[in-house]
Amino acid sequence: MYYIEFLGNFYIASYLLLLTPIYYLYPSQLKIRNSYFLVICYSKFNVVQTPVESMSRFIKDMNEKGMAGLASEYRKIDVEDTPFGSHKSFLMNMAKNRYSIIIDVLCVDETRVVLKIGPAASGDYIHANYVLFSEFQNKFICTQGPLQTTRDDFWRMVFQERAETILMLCRPSEDGKPKCAVYWPENDDKLELSTVDVEKVGEENSDFETLLFKVQLRDEFKQSPFISNKDPLVVKQWPDRGIPSHENAMIPLKLLSLVRNTRAPCVVHCSAGIGRTGTVVAIELGIRRFHDGRKVDLAMLVKDLRKKRAQCIQTEIQYLYLSRVLTEYALSSGEPLSDDVRRAAESFLKEYDSKIKK
């Protein structure tokens, strides 16, 4: 596909051939001096744009495809899904996987978090993956909701990675079904685990239920190179029983705004760690691409995300929700969108609401 496209533009093809060896030898210098090359490499249609051009193009694309087109696009992604790579550690630690019977919630080896502190007998495995893109200021760690037997692994990871915030996108139980273990001390008691002690130090009432914790390494592991968290760790919980409201796209946008201005990792989980978790991280990736002036292609965005965390965006409805939230973000961004673009957005959102309410 790329080869055919480049034949149609001799100058771009020549430019790429010239810069490709330079990029591999000096990637950091080339990234600074010629971001145009990197953007062209990303997608045959991905040219440098301003944020308003990126947002306008996205909105027009959503309106042209409509609900039926987007639904068809998602089904095509699932059929042509990205190869997930090796997942040997996942297969060797089935007891630590929340969905161990259904082998469709994989944890790929290439991006998995390797635990480096704690008892040797506990191993180095947790169902969690680093999700890092050049567009992000901070690193996301996407993980499953802890099991009762993996709470220590979860907090080992949080401590090791020096995370400052956990976004909890589910409740321990929803509709009578267990989704996640209660992995924190419910009272003022200290939760003593094999590797760390977790102490609740406060609560905050805001748009999101917020719990504050102090996490400290147990004495027998203090010779490790990992230091104690000096500041309270924040757990922000999704409202409305953990289910995103399709009528209110501002909820995930507000949630993401609270974790954006830091370089510390943010741990995100729901139950499987790929549905709501993948949707929220995909929203952030789309937002950052808007502001970088890049084309926001939903299908490509999901494919890129799945290379980091397999099977992200589980359902068609989550894919449609992603399109709505990014459209709402563009409308509220303050960018000078034209009247035509705003009308296209209104038309798309009206169709979305009609589709979802059926």
Q: Read off the pLDDT of residues 201-244 as tens digits, 9 standing for 90 and up.
A: 888 777 778 888 888 888 777 665 555 555 556 767 655 333 45
Q: Which pLDDT score, from 0 to 100, does residue 85 have?
A: 75
Question: Helix 316-332 to helix 339-357 angle, to the nearest 10 degrees?
Answer: 150
Residues annotated catalytic, as ranges:
270
Backbone phi, psi, residue 58, to 5°: -65, -50
Helices (H), 26-150: 27-33, 35-42, 51-79, 88-92
Q: Which pLDDT score, from 0 to 100, does residue 3 have?
A: 28
Question: pLDDT for 81-118, tens place per residue?
Answer: 666 678 899 999 999 999 876 666 889 999 999 999 88
CA 232, CA 198: separation in Å to the nearest integer?
A: 10
Q: Which pLDDT score, from 0 to 100, does residue 84 have?
A: 67
- The answer on pLDDT for 6 being more than 80 is no
The percent of residues in the chain predicted with pLDDT above 70, rounded, is 77
Residue 239, Ramachandran bin (φ over 0: left; ψ between -120 and 50: alpha; else beta): beta
- The answer on pLDDT for 278 being more than 80 is yes
Question: pLDDT for 142-182, tens place per residue?
Answer: 999 999 999 999 999 999 999 988 999 988 888 888 999 99
Q: Which pLDDT score, from 0 to 100, does residue 228 have?
A: 52
Q: Which pLDDT score, from 0 to 100, does residue 247 have?
A: 59
Q: Which pLDDT score, from 0 to 100, does residue 267 have?
A: 95
- Asked which of 37-46, 130-139, 201-210, 312-321 is least confident by mean pLDDT, the reply is 37-46
C-alpha separations of 314 from 57, 95, 218, 219, 271 in Å? 26, 22, 38, 41, 12
Chain centroid, CA 150 distance in Å = 22
The percent of residues in the chain predicted with pLDDT above 90, rounded, is 49
- The answer on pLDDT for 332 being more than 90 is yes
- The answer on pLDDT for 275 being more than 80 is yes
- The answer on pLDDT for 8 being more than 70 is no
Q: Which pLDDT score, from 0 to 100, does residue 186 have?
A: 80
Pairwise pLDDT comparison (316 vs 20), residue with the higher score: 316
C-alpha separations of 201 from 179, 185, 235, 267, 269 in Å? 25, 10, 12, 19, 22
Question: Quick one: pLDDT band at residue 47, thresholds 50, 70, 90?
Answer: low
Q: Which domains does the chain have, with CATH numbers?
A: 1-47 (no CATH), 82-311 (3.90.190.10)
User: Parallel, antiparallel, or unpaired: how do β-strands 266-269 and 165-168 relate?
Assistant: parallel
Whole-prediction pTM: 0.82
Q: Which pLDDT score, from 0 to 100, does residue 264 have?
A: 87
Q: Are 85 and 110 in contact (CB under 8 A)?
A: yes
Who contacts 170 (Cβ-Cβ below 8 Å, separation ≥6)?
145, 179, 180, 238, 242, 269, 270, 271, 276
Instruction: Give the mean model confidence (pLDDT) for residues 251-277.
Output: 89
Pairwise pLDDT comparison (129 vs 16), residue with the higher score: 129
- The answer on pLDDT for 138 being more than 80 is no
CA 244, CA 101: separation in Å to the nearest integer?
A: 27
Q: Which pLDDT score, from 0 to 100, does residue 25 have?
A: 47
Q: Which pLDDT score, from 0 to 100, does residue 237 have?
A: 64
Q: 229: which 2 tokens? A: 């968290």
Instruction: Give the mean model confidence (pLDDT) for residues 33-46.
Output: 42
Question: Quick one: pLDDT band at residue 5, thresholds 50, 70, 90?
Answer: very low
Mean pLDDT, the chain, as a whole number?
81
